[in-house]
Structure 1
Amino acid sequence: MRAVAQDADRTVLRSRSEVLSVGELADRARRVAVALGRRGVSAGDRVALVSGNSIDRVVWMFGIWWLGAVEVSVNVELRGPMLAHVLTDSDPSLIVCQDGLLEQVRDAAVGDVLPMSALTAEPVDRVAREELDAAQRGFGPGELATILYTSGTTGPAKGVMLPRAYFSNLAEVWTDRLGLSADDIGYFPLPFFHVDGHVQLTACLQSGGSMAFRERFSVSEYFTDVSRFGATWATGVGSMLSMLAQAELPEPVPRHLTRLVGAPVPQIAYETFEDRLGIPVLTLFGQTECDGIAMDSAEQRRRGAAGRTHEAIEVQVVDANDRPVPVGETGEILYRPRGPHLTALGYWRRPEATVEAWRNLWFHTGDSGHLDAEGFLYFDGRRTDSFRRRGENISVWELEHSLNLAAGVRECVAIAVRDEHGGEDEIKVFVVPEGEALVLEEFIEHCRKVLPRFAVPRYLTVTDGSEFIRSAGTGVVQKHLLSRDITSPDVMEVPR
């Protein structure tokens, strides 16, 4: 609303087929808000939004917020039990879906699913607009705005509750660390349903710049898009940066591109983009619970670090008893905000998990790392049973639970195999058959049917389970003792 008052005609969103001004975004979002209200949605109700990257998706997101309702941001790659869990656990008043995803959503949903194209959104008259805007000014910064699901470690994915001011406050951190201004155009090839999309768009809106985006990441089109949009900064995850660094590089280099932002940053990305092309590479350490715990700036960056700590968030590294460890020593990464509404409110309908994560007045990330004397944070691995692949967090509990439903399977155990090039995880699964009933081709097809693409295992080993060493009492497999080898004859690489 402030941006509209300052300059309603300035561009805020750019796609390959459409440009949207701040004023147009506001008008279309108000239409969605009114139409949702007519369907019985009110402030505080959850609206599940299942959509890929598009201007319409952004309009719907702001329309939900304008009404005071809660956006449940659903990963479009989910299907089967994982998707059903999100759509059930969030208890939405309405499920809204991109038309092309209707089949997979209807298969997983209980109740009606509204195609995005089915909502008739008439122009909003002056009286209705003034009522909407007056209500908007009355919503508090700590009220719930969005629920984003993140991988669980001992159970299904948890809904992370983000307050209304979370995006704006963290966008100020991004703006400061990246030095954003009205002259900047950010290129975003990642999914909008992630927290990064929410924060980056808000940073562009608040700094006076704009955000260009693509429907889906493309190696061959990345720098073409950067040139087409005149992007001054761009984002990516480790696997993306690795693929881009090994692809055919642009000639000439787009001189307007002055910052690449990503995490984790593989060494080849530094060598290619900084050393060869002269484009500074900045990294950040973030989670859905706080998207910018540590973050580089152009003046403060260090290769190999996950970002530099800053004034908004206090970070420390502790031992098993939550006591700070010396500089340079590895422990669990903890953080807490130095101001309100910079972190999540907690986990949706999981008060015990919320209290456990925030014990001793610090949020426990479940990640190992260390700090150096100058405040740079280094990521040393995950302590929790989850993977990160293609920029997505994967609950190992959910993965194994889904695979154990396959015909002919007695047990599946999944471990991470490090991808040294992309700096992320590949997935290796040990499959224990139920007698002679397992048909490997059918198992692979089951994986593709019930799992999102990023969670489909890359490596399989069929075993009788004799190499599993289990904890006394619990029977939990000691995964750190399992082989990470992917070259032996008993390891099958799943065709892509």
Structure 2
Amino acid sequence: MDDLLRAVARDAGRPLLRTRGQVVSTGELAERARRVAAALRGRGVSAGDRVALVSGNSIDRVAWMFGIWWLGAVEVSVNVELRGPMLAHVLADSDPCLIACQDECLGPVREAASGDVLPMSELTADPVGPAERDELDAAQRSFGPGDLATILYTSGTTGPAKGVMLPRAYFSNLAEIWADRLRLDADDVGYFPLPFFHVDGHVKLAACVQSGGSMAFRERFSASEYFADVREFGATWAAGVGAMLSILAQGELPEPGSHRLSRMIGAPIPRIAYETFEDRLGIPVLTLFGQTECDGIAMDSVEQRRRGAAGHPHDAIEVRVVDENDRPLPAGETGEIVYRPRRPHLTALGYWRRPEATVEAWRNLWFHTGDSGHLDADGFLCFDGRRTDSFRRRGENISVWELEHSLNTADGVRECVAIAVRDEHGGEDEIKVFVVPDGDGLVPDEFVAHCRKVLPRFAMPRYLTVTDGSEFVRSAGTGVVQKHLLSRDITSPDVMEVPR
């Protein structure tokens, strides 16, 4: 919020948000946000209240986000791809006083929500007069940098997704790091085709506000329109995820000199992205290691980058690799990646209504990522895999517990076990599910239809194997399936590939 008000004071007419059909200045965004804040206050929303925001990328979504913060209320940023039990859990767990929903998302939200849902288009947001504007701005300045601003849900490993609590200064402080590593200034235009409901969208927007540049975006990623957008917007930098970069690298590429793109950043970076964008097109590709809990633990810069690494730690965050007793390991040795901030409000406050999970993650004065990695001799952080039972697919973290729980509700199913199989092109996970039928009642096509009904698109299994479960090796006492012993083969006749 402070970043936006400072940007308005510097130059209220400076373009900030760009779409194919609209350009919105910092002043216009602030005015829209004040209108939302005033209208929400009229509906009884006040500081500390949670407002669930279910919306795809749009200028309205950004105005709502700032409007919620203007009141000191808490934005619950909901993934629009969620369906069924996963969506119901987020809406129930966050306990919002209001669910604001983009009109296109109303169907699944109303099915999953227990309370009233407000279509965003129905909010009456009248112009704010000078007196009310001064009152809202004065109230906004009374909130502290450590007050709760946003709850973002991230995949659990042994239970439902957890709400990550982010303080008001979090986005601004991390944006300073992004702006420094990317060398952003007022002439830069960032292109962002990824979802705003994730942490990256929040931080990158703050980086644009701070630097005086602008953010161009579209509702969702389009491979065929990507470089046309880059040219149209005059984008100088862009963000992506592994699968997206892989798709772009295999498509039609721009002619040298036809665009202003001078750096790309994302994670994970597949080899084809380096070969295509760096080697063929001369566009530096930067990588980062980040989580919702801290979006930018290690980051490349144009001057300091290494292929295959996950980024270089910077001065704001202390990073270590430790053994099972939290003792630091020497360079080159794999252990768990842990970190802690060197200044306030750079990491999450904890997990919403999960004090035990908060204590477990932040033990011994370090945040434990649950990821394996190592530091090389030059200090670059290298990611070696996940220690937890979760997947990463299409840039989304997926709780295996939630995935299996949703699939086990299908008719004719006794048990489902999900594992990751490597997508060598995108550098991420594909999902293979072993399905144990309950008698003879399983119809594969009906099971796939159930998957599409209860799962977001990014969590849809790619491969299915119907089995009697005889190959499952279970741990003594707990009965947990030892997934590392299951076959990763996707070419045998008993493996069904699910149609896209």
TM range (shorter): over 0.9
One-letter code aligned to 1:79: R
1:128 aligns with 2:150: no
Aligned to 2:108: 104
SS at 2:201 equivalent = helix
**Structure-1 separation of matches of 2:32 and 2:497:** 47
Residue of structure 1 in register with 2:194 after alignment: 190
- The equivalent residue for 1:241 is 245
1:474 aligned to 2:478? yes
Residue aligned with 2:283, SS: coil
Deviation, structure 1 residue 17:
1.1
Matched residue SS, 2:287: strand
The correspondence of residues 306-325 of structure 1 with structure 2, limited to 5 A, is: 306-325=310-329
Q: Which residue of 2 aligns with 1:448?
A: 452
Aligned to 2:354: 350
Is 2:28 aligned against 1:24?
yes
Q: TM-score, normalised by structure 1?
A: 1.00
For 1:205, the aligned partner's letter is: V
User: Does the alignment pair 1:15 with 2:51?
Assistant: no
Shift of 1:251: 2.3
Checking the alignment, whether the CA contact within 8 Å between 1:238 and 1:262 is kept in structure 2 is: yes
SS at the partner of 2:320?
Answer: strand
Aligned twin of 1:83: 87
Q: Tell me the amino acid that sits aligned with residue 286 of structure 1.
A: G
Q: Which residue of 1 aligns with 2:307?
A: 303
Question: How many pairs does the alignment contain?
Answer: 496
Q: Is residue 2:467 matched to residue 1:459?
A: no
Do the aligned residues in 2 keep the contact of 1:331 with 1:368 (CA within 8 Å)?
Answer: yes
Matching of residue 210 in structure 1 with residue 214 in structure 2: yes
1:46 is aligned to 50
The one-letter code matched in structure 2 to 1:37 is R
The structural deviation recorded for 1:253 is 4.7
Corresponding residue of 1:338: 342
Residues 129-182 of structure 1, C-alpha deviations (whole Å, 9 max, x = no match):
111100111100000000000000000000000000000000000011010001
Aligned counterparts of 1:302 and 1:182: Cα–Cα separation in 2: 27
Q: Which amino acid aligns with 1:7?
A: D
Alignment of 1:25-424 (within 5 A): 25-424=29-428
Contact between 2:319 and 2:337, CA under 8 Å: does it hold in 1? yes
Deviation string for 1:427-472 (max 9, x for gaps)? Answer: 0000000010101100000000000000010000000000000000
Q: Following the alignment from structure 2 to structure 1, what is the Cα–Cα distance between the partners of residues 41 and 105?
A: 24
Deviation at 1:255, TM superposition (A): 4.2
SS in 2 for 1:202: helix
Residues 171-207 of structure 1: CA distance to partner in whole angstroms, max 9, x if unpaired? 0000110100011000001000000000000000001
Identity of aligned residues (%): 84
Going from structure 1 to structure 2, the CA distance change for 1:47 and 1:483 (only over 3 Å counts) comes to same
1:254–1:369: structure 2 CA closer, same or farther, 3 Å change rule? farther
> What's the CA shift string for 1:35-61, capped at 9, x where partnerless?
000001001000000000000000000
Relative to structure 1, the CA distance from residue 26 to residue 424 in structure 2 (aligned partners, 3 Å threshold; closer, same or farther) is same
For residues 349-368 of structure 1, the C-alpha deviation after alignment (integer angstroms, 9 at most, x for no partner) is 00000000000010000000
> What amino acid does structure 2 have at the position aligned with 1:327?
A
Partner of 2:437: 433
Unaligned runs of at least 5 residues, structure 1: none
Structure 2's unaligned 5+ residue stretches are none
What is the rounded CA distance, in whole Å, between the counterparts of 2:201 and 2:455 in structure 1? 23
- Offset of 1:252 from its aligned partner? 4.0
Q: For residues 301-347 of structure 1, what are the alpha-carbon distances to aligned partners after superposition, in whole Å with 9 as ceiling and x for unaligned?
A: 00000000100000000111111111000000000000000000000
Map Cα deviations across residues 192-231 of structure 1 (whole Å, 9 max, x no partner): 0000000000000001100000100001111100000000
Rounded Cα–Cα distance in structure 2 between residues aligned with 1:275 and 1:398: 41
Q: Deviations over 1:221-278 (max 9, x none)?
A: 1110000000000010000000000011112454411001110000000000000000
d(CA) in 1 for partners of 2:271 and 2:278?
10
Counterpart amino acid of residue 424 in structure 2: E
Q: Give CA-to-partner distance per residue, 1:74-117, whole Å, 9 cap, x none.
A: 00000100000000000000000001111110000011100001
The aligned amino acid for 2:446 is E
**Secondary structure, counterpart of 1:443 in structure 2:** helix
Using the alignment, how far apart are the partners of 2:103 and 2:55 within structure 1?
Answer: 9
* SS of residue matched to 2:425: coil
Q: Which residue of 2 aligns with 1:489?
A: 493
Is contact 1:226-1:254 (8 Å) kept?
Answer: no
Using the alignment, how far apart are the partners of 1:416 and 1:368 within structure 2?
Answer: 16
Local SS of the residue matching 1:308: coil
Q: Tell me the distance in 2 between the aligned counterparts of 1:264 and 1:121.
A: 41
Q: Residue type matched to 1:153 in 2? A: T
Mapped to 1, the partners of 2:494 and 2:442 lie a distance apart of 16
* SS of corresponding position for 2:224: coil
Give the aligned residue type for 1:102. L
Equivalent-residue separation in structure 2 for 1:327 and 1:196 (angstroms): 29
Residues 184 and 233 in structure 1, CA contact (< 8 A), matched pair in contact too: yes
Q: Secondary structure at the match of 1:370?
A: strand
Equivalent residues of 2:234, 2:259 under 8 A apart: no
